[in-house]
Amino acid sequence: MIKEEVQKLLNNLIQLENLSSSIYLAMSADANRKNYTGMAHWLKLQSDEERTHMLKLIDYLAGKDGIVQILAIPAQPTDFGTPLETFEKALEHERFVTNAYQRAYDYITQVDSQTLIIILDFLREQIEEENQTLTIVERLKIAKDNPAALLLLDQELGQRKNVGAVKANG
């Protein structure tokens, strides 16, 4: 049986990943409504990836005979602004998530070496996710209000394949 404090920590991370999935899905819907279909595709895949993270945490906690608690998440906005504003919000959120996993790592190193392995997987993933999102933000800053550059970047983001997700079963 997993320690109660570790169970609570994992449930908080499950909640965070569920929230992340919801945020990215709302961003995707907004981008799609604004005809940035490539960005919408990228954001939807990011939502799927966050959901995969949530499922991995659920599977891990359930496998340790822990109690999984799925809490309600708040409704998301319907408008995230320009593509640059959207991805700046995404980057801010990724940094928030990284900070949460860093705090989890700092705590878990003292109490549970098995869960530490899971947390390390997610910290590695966060490095990649922050870097990807930062690159998009920087490219959107270069594109500014140039419609041709924005459409080219939109087209490029539409080519994303869902290969970066941490596997749900390990």
Q: Which amino acids are annotated as binding site, given as ranges?
A: 17, 50, 53, 94, 126
d(CA 100, CA 98): 5
- Give the Å distances, CA to CA, from 84 to 102, 140, 153: 27, 6, 11
Would you mind telling me the total number of residues written for the chain in this entry?
170
Q: Which residues are annotated as a binding site for Fe cation?
A: 17, 50, 53, 94, 126
d(CA 21, CA 51): 6
